[in-house]
Amino acid sequence: MMIKILGSGCPNCQRLENQARQAIGELKKEDAQVEHVYDMDKIIAYGVMSTPALVIDEVVKSSGRIPDVEEIKEWLQ
């Protein structure tokens, strides 16, 4: 499973990454890999116009907001 955080590295992007890592840990998803994508061309290629964004297995799950850990866990199951 590949999880991508799309964003510039701002505090909201970092918070989203922390939320995703917490959800992964709580679900014990050892196969999950987290990548932070900073390149704006790559972010735009996902159709994302507002960051931070969360992509799970190449599907954009959220954009422009920080979902809570429980919501992320639902997407990971």
Active site residues: 10, 13
CA 76 – CA 45 distance, rounded (Å): 23
3-state SS class at 69: helix
3-state helix, strand, coil in the chain (%, to 5): 40, 25, 35
